[in-house]
Amino acid sequence: MKTARRRVLLTGATGNWGRATLRELLSRDKVDVVAFAMPTEGDRRVLAEFAGRGRLEIFWGDLTRYEDVARAIAGVDTILHVGAVVSPLADAYPRLARRVNVGSMQNIIRAVKALPDPASVEVVGIGSVAETGDRQAPVHWGRVGDPIRVSQFDEYGQTKVIAEKLLVDSGLPRWAWLRQTGIFRPGMLEIRDPIMTHSPFAGVLEWVSDVDSARLLAAIAEGAPEAFWQGIYNIGGGEGWRLTNWELQNAIGRAMGVADIRKWYDREWFALTNFHGQWYTDSDRLDELVPFRHDTWGGAMSRALAAAPASVRNAGKVPAWIVKNFVMKPLAHKPRGTMHAVRCRDNEEVGAHFGSSDRWARIGDWSQFQVPEPSRTPSFLDHGYDESLPVREWSTSMYRDAASFRGGELLSGDAVTGDIATPLVWRCAFGHVFAASPRLVLTGGHWCPECVRDAASYRAQAERSPFLAQVEFPQAALVA
């Protein structure tokens, strides 16, 4: 028997976003929280911060074990499924990422379906901006429904695409999927990993803070409006959080007292493509439904600087050649670093990061660098159907048109008009047959799962798909 107070299961409670969310939930005094954590020394140490707090229960278990998940969801009203193996750990251990990120979603769906009343539990799944991959000018603006297109070697993004499909087409009555962007948090200034070199200076990202992200989940747990459910959303901080990666590097450098960030790096260390990020035309929608934006970019940066050790706060006082040669250069040359790929003549990785070895060789030094200035005017990709038509009027003819725009066809016969949740059968341009709901395809931007998995062939796919060609051949067409 459920209590009058809402009961929330939070997975990933020991991660950066999870800890921030746990603090926010407990500070509000409106819900009881079940924090799902692994019985490891590390997780126990993190959760020691919350020892003795009322309204908190720790559930020790493993998300990849169905029995643990089934016991954890007993009596809860909302599941905030934050738990995942994320990058860069997911890059180093791709099988683990798939086992956890996909397996946990399978277990949650199965456990909720096994309840006497599946509609009694709300499931909030977490996706990623990585699902739509690299988006540079002139296609740096994006929204839900744009092509699902994961960058090469990004196992994390691939697992989130699969998990999203599982939840959206699960048949559960009350679910939502949140595609999280980059979370700016304390600790950001201390990151030292080869993944730093994967981010093109010309790339863009609409960041959000850990505080606002936690506020969002807490507000959902307390009770989101009915219009929120059965939706896919981009999480973004809004206008003040839209930065190029070059602006981000300079902002971090200034915070640490670095007058010229270029003295820390060689220009050729940083990839030209194959990362992820976009500025959103639709992130305001989530804030309208569940208001959560209160933080500012400056405030988040100040907190990150205050939390950093003195060695980081005063990095600008260290001679630049020391930082460059003994910190940054080794990162670029470590496995998964861009220069490691160049040195090892790994043509596949070099091609992903730079387009080709020849293109890398032509990058030049800082004297040839041009500061990226992408347009601040929103633009929209064509989704291949009449988006002004209300869902109740969606029909077979619309689905056929959408399939054709993606280079494929609808194989199912007449679909029930207005039913966007029941999976239909489709075929892509390469002959792969798959099932997906109209909501997943039209609203979510999904298409053939086998083709999505083959990121190295996206260009070949785009030659048969006007939908995908918009991001693979960005000069082709933008719809203003």
Per-residue pLDDT tens for 107-157? 999 999 999 999 999 999 999 999 999 999 999 999 999 999 999 999 999
Shared-domain flag, residues 283 and 399: no
Query: Mean pLDDT across the stretch 30-39?
Result: 95
**156 within a domain of the structure (yes/no):** yes
Shared-domain flag, residues 295 and 395: no
**54 within a domain of the structure (yes/no):** yes
Shared-domain flag, residues 49 and 164: yes
**Residues pairing with 209 in the sheet:** 184
2 pLDDT more than 90 = no
Shared-domain flag, residues 294 and 420: no
478 pLDDT more than 50 = no
Query: Mean pLDDT across the stretch 432-440?
Result: 98
How sure is the predictor about 479, in pLDDT bands with cuts at 50, 70 and 90?
A: very low
**434 within a domain of the structure (yes/no):** yes
**419 within a domain of the structure (yes/no):** yes
Shared-domain flag, residues 291 and 432: no
Q: How many C-beta neighbours within 10 Å does residue 350 have?
A: 22
Shared-domain flag, residues 26 and 154: yes
Q: How many C-beta neighbours within 10 Å does residue 87 have?
A: 19
Q: How many C-beta neighbours within 10 Å does residue 12 have?
A: 25
- CB of 80 closer than 8 Å to CB of 124: yes
Position 87 scores a pLDDT of 85
Shared-domain flag, residues 293 and 406: no
Position 480 scores a pLDDT of 38
- Which domain range does residue 182 map to? 6-258+277-303
Query: Mean pLDDT across the stretch 33-48?
Result: 94
pLDDT tens for each residue of 257-276: 998 999 999 999 999 999 99
Position 1 scores a pLDDT of 41
Shared-domain flag, residues 229 and 113: yes
**135 within a domain of the structure (yes/no):** yes
Position 475 scores a pLDDT of 66
Question: How high does pLDDT run on average in the chain?
Answer: 94
User: How many domains does the chain fold into?
Assistant: 2
From 303, 321, 338, give the residue that closes a domain: 303
**311 within a domain of the structure (yes/no):** no
Angle at CA 243, nearest 5°, toward 239 and 248?
140
Burial degree of 446 (CB within 10 A; 0-12, 13-18, 19+): buried
Q: Which residues of 47-60 are buried (b: 16+ CB within 10 A; e: fewer)?
A: beebeeeeebebbe
**89 within a domain of the structure (yes/no):** yes
State the pTM of this model. 0.95
Shared-domain flag, residues 294 and 414: no
pLDDT tens for each residue of 176-217: 999 999 999 988 888 788 888 999 999 999 999 999 999 999
How sure is the predictor about 91, in pLDDT bands with cuts at 50, 70 and 90?
A: confident
**348 within a domain of the structure (yes/no):** no
Shared-domain flag, residues 107 and 247: yes
